Chain A
Amino acid sequence: MQSSNQPRSSLRTKLFGDPLRAFAVVSAVLLVLLAIAPAKNHFSEWRHYQKGYLRMIRSRGEAVTLQRHFQPGIQQIWHPDIGVTDRCTSCHVGLKETSLTDVKFQPYRKHPVIPHTTEQYGCVMCHRGQGAATTVEEAHSSTLAWEQPILPALYIESGCGQCHRANLEGTPQLNQGRALLARYGCVQCHTIKLPDGGMMQATQDAPSLSHIADKTTREWIFAWLKDPQSYAASATMPNFKLKDDDIRDISAFLTANSTPVAGDTLPPINQKAADPTAGASLYGESFCASCHAVQNAAGNLVGGNVGPELTRIGNKAKPEWVRAWIRNPRTYDPGTQMPHYRFNDQQVATMEGFLLAKSDSDFLANVHLDPATPEQIAHGKSLVMEYGCSSCHEIAGIKKPENFAPELTRIGGKSISQLIFLPGMSHTLPDYIAGKIRQPRAFAPGLKMPQYSFTPTQIDALTTALLAQNDRAQSMPPTLTVPAPPRSHYRPAGKAGQIMSDLACFSCHAINGRGGDMAPDLTWEGSSVQRKWLEDFFRNPGTLRPALIRRMPKFNLTSEEISTLSDYIMTVYQTPEFDRDSMPESGYSATQIEEGKQLYYSKYACQSCHIVDVKSDKGYIGPTLTGVGSRLTASWIYHWLKNPQALRPGTVEPNRNMSDDEAKSLTAFLVAQKGPGTKEAKK
């Protein structure tokens, strides 16, 4: 004990024996301690980056300007109302310098051009990270445990989605992600509340299963549930990875639970398809491919995705059901997007034969089901409830479950400490979300979320859309958000309204904000077209755009129906912008027409996109104008020429800012184009 005390006491005497020496030692220690704070500041990372910046700009041509813009010290963007305290610009010094776009290394490169400035919203709003931090590690947090690391550039559009609730032109990935959430039924099980109090709604309703036995066989249900994508590669239905016995029981329950619908099956029609190619041409003429896809010999899907894929429809649909469906789909499903084509017997038989031939002989070859027992049916019902089938499908006797899956309203801001990651997975929120979408069942045994077959691009888009669902988005001041336009529930009234829903006009055309975008918006159709043309078009829809593969099908309407529809369109779908009689339909002078022709061919070179004379003109981006004088009203032509976007927002035809006189002359020329076979056309 004593021996060990000896050197210590000697050290103490050495240092503190003399009061003066003791004072000197203490002062020295104090000075060193005092120097730590300024030294820490002096050697701080941001200072290092600012010095580096000054070194870098010295060698550049515009050094003086850059030098003048440079402000030393910690920089901060502070917006308490939106929770932004960002010091990122302390190191990212050149964010606003237009000339620094060519800098290849960070943190000095100029920020890419975006619609906002960094001062407006700061940085973390879009990029995440720790805004208040002044070291790279803390701000970007490459350390795994940080709650808000920098968001990979891949998901940057999620930042836009926090304020912008509607589709934005510049954010295709976010738009796609939101569309997928709605289309693939994600929001049927997962609630996603929007900041305005509404909920994200599904855009497509899965078919009702209450009458499924009329439509298909138990064997097909079995094969479908086992692997929906083996039946149709483009199927939106996910794979629930069920055991064969469970699928057997579910198919037993769905078949037993199904009730027949009067008239949704028909006996064979005593007609023979005379020509084997008639089916294909009827399918083509009816433009079925605008909505339905079929896999071609090369394995590529050809056709639209509004309706289900028809590659193996013959394996699925019962002949008696197909017949009734082609005759009138609304008997089986009153809300279907499929139009009622009004086919005659011959056409129904032809189409039936053509569709049923689309089958794969070995698709159901290995499915053999014994008759179902009551136990199997009961077990099937419990499985249907367990897996929440009625979240998407209407099933008689089973209610749509509420809060079936976790709410995703704030998933994009979820704390990492609340997440369970897969081994080997990087511990970030985007990777977690993407991983959950990619392989939902891998995260824990007994999870019910099914396996989707999304492409990597689709998964990125979905992750982007979900990352936008965060706390910031929910608490953003309403003055800063851009809400989505309210969903239109427009329904045309009366008898015309009934015909329009029977023909499913809204599957392709939009009117007053509701409907598809495959065909032109008809909101102001009554101001636009002439009644006679409209009636002729209903009778025999020709094409206005030869380069388009999608066209209006022929619906075999009766004269009475045509007249009802035309009356309604001509009276109701009128623009308030102008009076449809504001321009004369005839009586233009020959000089005016000639002047219009000159303007058409030389000054405005309309022939680059439109055809007036089939012999000389070739352009076919815009509609053919050979008979435009018989199709459009003079006042529509005039106002369209003056400002196309005012009549149809987003239309491609550029606004030429032409004078009233020029527009009048061009109108005169176009009104004179009455179409082939008429007197005027020969002139």
Chain B
Amino acid sequence: MMTKQTPLAVNVLCLFVCGLMLAASGCARQSASAAGPTPSGFGSTIVESSGGKQIGAAGSILPQPLVVQVNDDQGNAVAGAAVTFSGPSGVTFDPPSGLTDSSGQLSTNVILGGMAGRYQLVASTMTKAQKKVEIKSEEIALDYQRRLGQLLDDKYCSRCHNPESTPERVSNFDNLEVKPHAFSEGDTLNKMSDADLLSIISHGGPALNKSPLMPPYGYTLSKTEMQALIAYIRMISDPPYQAPGMVYAQK
């Protein structure tokens, strides 16, 4: 009797376990399909409303949320369209997906990855014909050195090099006879070598036959600080800066 009952019990247990697993997998499939709420609207294009081209510390939450808008063929905002955000590994979105609100927009908080660099973020939505349309936006994550550069820029440089004024802080850009270059002006700054930049920061404009309106900072900033500033300028450059030798290295 005992020997007969044992396999029966085992069989029952097996069946039970199998049943459980099936149920679990069923649930998993169900929850996967129900992850995004069902869209009530479909657009044909997706555009970025705000929140692109921000600069934040690596691993931190960006100061402004990323906001995208879904439009239809006529360019009208579409409410209830499903939008999914994605990015390179390390980036997280809160929320990672959702439906657009009544103004056709969906906003998400972006937490940058731990590695410094440029992060390409993608927001996508499905059209009525189940075609995927997407919009790319780029955010920049700074490491310690570039963050220091950013702080130095804010303290010493941006009052002249950044033409934008705020009530708290009026730009000096318009007052200068020779206009300084914004640090994101890659077309100009990328042509200058690190040595050139170091030279103009430490010895001032005349070092490169440029305007004396740019004063020398070599007796004010340390070499580490100037290098941090250069690293920051390189990072925020648009178009992106390619270090010499990179092309060769990537071969």
Contact = CB atoms under 8 A, between A and B. Distances in A.
A604 B215 CA distance: 7
Contact of A619 (B114, B175, B248): B175
Contacts of A407: none
A584 interface: no
Nearest to A618: B175
B249 A460 contact: no
A162 to B, nearest CB: 15
B194 interface: no
A121 B60 CA distance: 24
Contacts of B151: 169-170, 172
Nearest to A657: B219
B152 to A, nearest CB: 8
A460 B144 contact: no
Contacts of B145: 112-114
A156 B113 CA distance: 13
Interface residues of B, number: 51
Interface of A: 59-62, 99, 102, 104, 106, 109, 112-115, 152-156, 169-170, 172-173, 456-457, 460, 547, 549, 602-605, 608-609, 618-621, 645, 652, 654-657
18 contacts: A113-B227, A152-B114, A153-B115, A154-B114, A170-B144, A456-B61, A456-B109, A457-B61, A460-B60, A547-B170, A549-B168, A603-B212, A604-B215, A608-B176, A620-B170, A620-B175, A645-B220, A654-B220
A173 B172 contact: no
Contact of B213 (A109, A169, A608, A656): A608
Contacts of A154: 59-61, 111, 114
Interface string B57-86: 111110100000000000000000000000
Interface string B141-161: 001110110010001100110
B213 A605 contact: yes
A153 B249 contact: no
A476 to B, nearest CB: 20
A112 B116 contact: yes
B231 interface: yes
Contacts of B176: 608, 618-619
Given A112-B116, A618-B174, A618-B175, 11 more contacts: A62-B249, A99-B245, A102-B249, A115-B224, A152-B59, A154-B60, A460-B61, A608-B172, A655-B219, A656-B216, A657-B219
Instruction: Give 3 nearest A-B pairs by CB, closest first.
Output: A153-B59, A153-B114, A112-B143
Contacts of B116: 112
A169 to B, nearest CB: 6
A489 B132 CA distance: 65
B172 A654 contact: no
Contacts of A156: 59
Interface string B225-236: 001100100000
Interface of B: 57-61, 63, 109, 111, 113-117, 143-145, 147-148, 151, 155-156, 159-160, 167-170, 172, 174-176, 211-213, 215-220, 224, 227-228, 231, 243, 245-246, 248-251
A302 B146 CA distance: 31
A99 B245 CA distance: 9
A652 B156 contact: yes
Contacts of B213: 605, 608
The binding surface of chain A is classed by DSSP as loop
A608 to B, nearest CB: 4
Nearest to B231: A113
B148 A170 contact: yes
Nearest to B59: A153
A109 B212 contact: no
Contacts of B60: 154, 173, 457, 460
A170 B147 contact: yes
Contacts of A605: 211-213, 215
Contacts of A608: 160, 172, 175-176, 213, 215
B144 A99 contact: no
Nearest to A608: B213
B215 A173 contact: no
A170 B58 CA distance: 13
A61 B251 contact: yes
A113 B156 contact: no
Nearest to A59: B251
A113 B220 contact: no
Contacts of A609: 172
Given A605-B213, A654-B219, A621 B159 contact: yes
B66 to A, nearest CB: 14
A549 B251 CA distance: 55
Contacts of A60: 249
Contact of A621 (B63, B144, B172, B217): B172
B88 to A, nearest CB: 9
B9 to A, nearest CB: 22
Contacts of A645: 220
A113 B231 CA distance: 10
B17 to A, nearest CB: 25
Contacts of B58: 153
Nearest to A99: B249
Contacts of B175: 608, 618-620
B190 to A, nearest CB: 16
A113 B215 contact: no
Contact of B215 (A170, A618, A656): A656
Contacts of A115: 224
Contacts of B143: 112-113
A620 B219 contact: no
A654 B220 CA distance: 6
Contacts of A619: 172, 175-176
A169 B148 CA distance: 7
A457 B111 CA distance: 11
A608 B249 CA distance: 42
Given A112-B144, A113-B144, A113-B231, A654 B245 contact: no
Contacts of A652: 155-156
Nearest to A655: B219
Contact of B245 (A59, A61, A549): A61
A547 B219 CA distance: 27
A230 B170 CA distance: 33
A170 B212 CA distance: 30
A114 B144 contact: yes
A155 B114 CA distance: 10
Contacts of B216: 654, 656-657
Nearest to B109: A456
